[in-house]
């Protein structure tokens, strides 16, 4: 396949992903909050497969909602339908997002690979929000310097510096569930 055809195919795939996002976004406007008061904040993540995977994990763990900062759209395919069921709140900036979360009385935790306080050793409040940063640059300094945000790390035992952002989100949701809700049986 020639370069011209690959560029055209890529544009078409991007256009298709945008069309799919817009279609599912209309369904998302009617999504009901999950059964547990835990939220995720996605700070300027790339609009590729990680966001969709995070929606899938949030749906699986009954997360209340997901806040997206500086993200206009993303490919919902990896969410396998979960984007339609987990409420999404799109924010232009941190201040807009944090105001919304504080009005809802959430305690804010930023997941950072080099934070000294570990997620597994932290008693998480009932209303917790986990902030996840850009795949390459992490959580922005503006957020980390906010006195209302507690940086947490996920303990690791290998030589890897950090985890994939969708994996980190799943671990945070699991730890929250372990502390608060895993003993609840499904209906």
Residue pair 58/176 in contact (Cβ under 8 Å)? The answer is no
Residue pair 72/44 in contact (Cβ under 8 Å)? The answer is no
Starting at the edge strand that comes first in sequence, how are the strands of the sheet with 63-69 ordered?
88-91, 63-69, 36-43, 128-132, 107-111, 149-152
SS (H, E, C) 49-104: HHHHHHHHHHHHCCEEEEEEECCCCCCCHHHCCHHHCCCEEEECCHHHHHHHHHHC
For 105, other C-beta atoms within 10 Å of its C-beta total 10
Is the pLDDT reported for residue 68 higher than 90?
Answer: yes
| Class level of CATH domain 3-180 | alpha beta
Kindly give, in sequence order, each residue whose CB lies less than 8 Å from that of residue 170, ignoring residues fewer than 6 positions away. Answer: 57, 61
What pLDDT score does 116 carry?
95
List the chain domain ranges.
3-180
Average pLDDT of the chain? 89
pLDDT per residue over 40-64, tens digit each?
999 999 987 899 999 999 999 999 9
pLDDT per residue over 2-22, tens digit each?
555 555 555 677 787 778 888
Dihedrals phi, psi of 39, to nearest 5 degrees = -120, 155
Any idea what DSSP says for residue 119?
G
């Amino acid at each position: 396949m020639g370069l011209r055809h690959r560029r055209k195919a890529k544009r078409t795939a991007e256009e298709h992903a945008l069309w799919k996002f817009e279609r599912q976004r209309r369904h998302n406007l009617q999504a009901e909050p999950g059964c547990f008061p835990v939220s995720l904040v996605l700070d300027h993540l790339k609009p590729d497969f990680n966001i969709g995977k995070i929606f899938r994990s949030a749906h699986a763990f009954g997360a209340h909602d997901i806040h997206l900062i500086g993200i206009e759209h993303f490919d919902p395919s990896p969410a396998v339908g979960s984007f339609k069921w987990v409420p999404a709140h799109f924010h232009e900036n941190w201040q807009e997002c944090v105001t919304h979360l504080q009005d809802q009385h959430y305690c804010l935790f930023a997941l950072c690979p080099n934070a000294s306080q570990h997620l597994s050793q932290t008693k998480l409040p009932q209303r917790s929000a986990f902030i996840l940063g850009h795949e390459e640059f992490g959580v922005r300094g503006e957020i980390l310097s906010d006195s209302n945000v507690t940086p947490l790390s996920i303990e690791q035992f290998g030589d890897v510096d950090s985890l994939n952002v969708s994996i980190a989100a799943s671990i945070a949701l699991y730890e929250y569930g372990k502390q608060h809700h895993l003993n609840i049986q499904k209906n």
